[in-house]
Structure 1
Amino acid sequence: MSVAELLPTLRNLSRAEKLQIMQFLIQELADEEASLLQSGATYHVWSPYNSHDAAQKLAALPEEDRQASNS
């Protein structure tokens, strides 16, 4: 069954049934997320520290905006 076919059926459910569907879907997503992360694995996380190029670009944005406003 496709999403397009599901939506009209979902709209006709009671509030309590909609909440049950939401709880089911949230649990399904949580279970899928848990399987994506492996215990003891190392994952790269981006940090803004030592991102000097990004800082320079952000600092230049207000000046560029002022120049565009004056044109």
Structure 2
Amino acid sequence: MSVTELLPNLQKLSRADKFLVMQFLVADLSKEEGIENLSESFQNNAVYPVWSPYDSHQAAHQLMQLLEEDSVSSAG
């Protein structure tokens, strides 16, 4: 079955079934990449830190500089 045949059928699935398909695909891809125990990589109810620019004043300052430089180069 080709992707063009598969996509309309996937759209018809329920939300829960779509998640199961995603879970299957991620597990299958992880096996291809050599990550055998993907489910053991993450633990339920664990907290995993994710970096965010929130309260990062240095990132805000750098972004403002880039925007100002872009504004000057666009105007000139």
Q: Normalising to structure 2: TM-score of the pair?
A: 0.46
Which of 1 and 2 has greater Rg? 1
- Highest RCO, 1 vs 2 (Cα 8 Å, sep ≥ 6): 1
Q: Normalising to structure 1: TM-score of the pair?
A: 0.49
Say which structure is richer in helix: 1
